[in-house]
Amino acid sequence: MDEKYGNECKDDKVVAKNSFGLSGPTQMMQEISTNGPVTAAFTVYEDFTSYQSGVYQHKTGRKLGGHAIEVVGYGVEDGTPYWKVKNSWNDSWGDGGFFKILRGSNECGIEGTVSAGLV
């Protein structure tokens, strides 16, 4: 038992029933609506690091690398469809630790590598 935590590690294990890939915005929206968040990856560009609000679309800057994230929802802002994404950096970055990114055009590859599963 971890004295600081108070639980056995084995007691906190969650085992997935299954995992699967998703293809495109329609499957992503269906999965989020039915079972909750999905995981995805996208390419980070320099202009993303200064994101604060609105729907992100890559405009300028070089590629910095890849980033895995959790897509928690979707919507439309001022006529622009978006994915609502939980970032892992911290809650003082972006919009309280979240960001919106253009939905429906595979912006920065976000709709290309998506996984989900049931526990």
**Residue 103 pLDDT more than 70?**
yes
User: Which is more confidently placed, 37 or 89?
Assistant: 37
Containing structural domain, residue 44: 18-118
Question: What does pTM read for this prediction?
Answer: 0.86
Residue 12 belongs to a domain: no
In the chain, how many domains are there? Answer: 1
**Residue 15 pLDDT more than 80?**
no
Q: Residue 27 is part of a domain; what is its CATH number?
A: 3.90.70.10
**Residue 14 pLDDT more than 80?**
no
Categorize the per-residue pLDDT at 2 as very low, low, confident or very high, splitting at 50, 70 and 90. low
Residue 9 belongs to a domain: no
Residue 112 belongs to a domain: yes
Collapse the DSSP code of 4 into the 3-class scheme (helix H, G, I; strand E, B; otherwise coil) and give the result. Answer: coil
- What's the mean pLDDT in 1-9? 70
Categorize the per-residue pLDDT at 16 as very low, low, confident or very high, splitting at 50, 70 and 90. confident
Residue 62 belongs to a domain: yes
Residue 35 belongs to a domain: yes
Residue 1: the pLDDT is: 55
User: Which is more confidently placed, 93 or 101?
Assistant: 101
- What's the mean pLDDT in 72-80? 98
Q: Which token pair is 88?
A: 């892992």
User: What's 94-109 look like in SS3?
Assistant: CECCEEEEECCCCHHH
Give the burial class of 11: count Cβ atoms within 10 A of its Cβ; 0-12 exposed, 13-18 middle, 19 or more buried.
exposed
